[in-house]
Structure formats: C-alpha cells, structure tokens
Amino acid sequence: METEITWSKEGFSQQDYYNDLLEAEKHGAEVAGELVYPPRPILPEYVAPTIVINNNPSGKSGEKSEAEKERESRELFERSRISRERDQLAEDYNRQVALARQAVEDRRTGAIESFLMSRGWTKTTKTLEVTYYANGQRESVKRFKNGKLISALSWKPDGVKCPVTKVEEGNGIVVVYAKEGTERERRSFKDGVEVFD
C-alpha cells in the first residue's frame, strides 16, 4: 500500500506551502513537547545461595548426592525464571518507550495539520492498494482519495482480468473471487462509498 499526502490552497504556490509548513513545524515542536521516558525497571538479579564444599578424602566416587542434584535443579529453575522476568520487563519498557515516542509524534503531526488547515490549506490523501492471491497472482488494484474508492480493477485467481469489475470516478462494481475462482461477492460503489442494496 502506498500513500501520498498533498496540501493545496487555491491561488498559492508550492513556495507558499513550504513557508507555512516551516511555521507549522515550529508550532508542532512546541505543542508536542519533549519525550518523557518512562522510569527504567529494576531488573532482578540471581543471587546464588552459599555453597558448602566438603572434601571427601574417603575415595567416594564423583557422583553428586541427591541434595546436590536438587540444589542444581532449583538453581537452574530460578535462573530461568529470573531470565524470563528480565526479558519481560525489558520488553514492556521498550513498548512503553515506543508508545511515548508515538504520542509525541502524534501530537506534533496533529498540531502541524491543524496549523496548516487554519491557514486555509486542504489535505488530500491518495492511496494505492494492490493485493495478491496466495498463489502470487494479482487480486486487485484500488485507488483511494481521502478514504473514498476512486478506481478499481480485479483479477481471478488464475490471472484472468475480471470482466465485471470496473470502478471509475468512484462509481461501479468490484467482484471478489474465492481461491477456487468462483465469485464470492459483488460490491457496488457510488461516489467512492459502498452502497448496500
């Protein structure tokens, strides 16, 4: 999916837009403020229990006693638990940082857009959406303008262009096919909006 955003104002040039955009960027930076990082988590550490070493001069074999095996098993479990907890805390922290960054960026973008709109600029969003079937064949090509469907073409799963699908200037029909090639649904559009019969 490709999205293109343009701003226009009747009787004004691209240079006028850049001048207003420069002011809008300054305004956006003031409104957005600085990124406030969440507090870093305190990560747990593994603290090994004290170990008592017994020298066995009596010639016993090097096999571990049941108590030693149990202690090693508990230690392995505890190390693993703490490692998982550390990973989860780090993942949660990184997610919080990403959300904080996104919040600042959303405030900045919103402030820029409202500043430009207050100066009389009109925002136009054009989107191109291309979809494919699981077998790699192209399924559809749709163009949107400000969220409304402007044009559409579709293909059957075998690669044959659909003879019925045709949307121009926001009006027409889109046929959706099942993976076997049978018609799954027909969708009608008027002025870029789907109409239901």
pLDDT of residue 56: 59
HSE-up of residue 42 (Cα within 13 Å, Cβ side): 0
pLDDT of residue 164: 92
> Quick one: tokens of 13?
């040039």
Domain boundaries, the chain: 12-54+65-121, 133-195
Q: What is the pTM of this model?
A: 0.60
Q: Is the distance from CB of 151 to CB of 167 less than 8 angstroms?
A: yes
pLDDT of residue 59: 52
Q: Determine the residue type at 168.
A: E
pLDDT of residue 54: 63
Q: Please give the average pLDDT of every successive group of 10 residues along the chain, which has 197 residues.
A: 88 91 94 90 80 60 77 89 92 95 94 94 93 91 93 92 92 90 91 88
Residues 6+ apart with CB under 8 A from 82: 44, 45, 46
